Amino acid sequence: MKNYKTQFLNLALKHGALKFGEFELKSGRISPYFFNAGLFNTGYAVAGLGQCYASALNNIDINFDMLFGPAYKGISLVALTAAMLAENHGVDYPFAYNRKEMKDHGEGGTNIGATIKGRVLILDDVITAGTAATQAVKIIHSEGAELAGIVVALDREEVGRESRLSAVQELQNKIGVPVRSIVSLTDLISHLESGSELEKFLPAVREYRKRYGVPLNE
C-alpha cells in the first residue's frame, strides 16, 4: 500500500475521523467502522488531510487544470489541497467552490473563487447518494468547462440496496469520468492485516465486506 494511503489512515485514526465499533448507517446497515471527515478539525489535522489529498492527486491517472469543491465539506478540501500542492509539490492550481444559497448582493451568484474553465477535478469527502457531486457536475458543465474526474477520501466499496454496484461505481457510470479515492475498504482491510492493535476489528470488517462489499472481480 502506498505511503500516502497509510498516512491517511493513521491520520484519520489519530483524530477520530475513522472509528471502529457498531454504527447504524442511513441504509439501516450496522457497519463495524465509520468515517467522519468533519473530525479533522484542528490546524495540524487539516494540514495533514490536505497533504494526503495532494499526494493522492500526484498518484492518480487524471489530468486536470483546476479544483472544485462542492458545498460544504468540499470547500475546505479544495483550499487545503491547493495550498499543499503549491507548498509541497511546486504546482499552483486555481480552485473554486459553490455556495448552496444564491447571493443577491455584491457580486451575486453561487460560485466563488477562480473562473471555472478547462479540465476541472472535483474533491469531496465521500460519495453516498452522490447528490453534491452531481450538482457540482452541473455547475461545471454550465460554465462550459470539462469534468476531469472526482476524488474522495474513502470508497466504502459497498453495494447499494438495489444494486450490485457501489455508490462510486454508479456515479462513475453516470458521469462517464473516473472517480478515485485516497483509500478504499480494501486498503482499510490491508491496514488492519498489517498487525496493528486494531487487528481485533478485522473479522467484523471482513464479514461486513462479505455481506455488502462489491464483488472483488468488478
Write down the H helix ranges in the chain: 3-14, 43-57, 73-89, 131-142, 167-175, 185-193, 202-212
Residues in contact with 153: Cβ distance below 8 Å, sequence separation at least 6, in sequence order: 8, 35, 37, 49, 52, 53, 125, 126, 181, 182, 183
Phi, psi of 131 (to 5 degrees): -65, -50
Grid cell for residue 92: 499552483
Q: Determine if residue 144 is left, alpha or beta; phi over 0 gives left, psi from -120 to 50 gives alpha, anything else beta.
A: left
105 is catalytic: yes
- Concerning whether 200 is annotated as a catalytic residue, the answer is no
Catalytic one of 14, 100, 103, 138? 103
> Which active-site residues does the annotation give?
103, 105
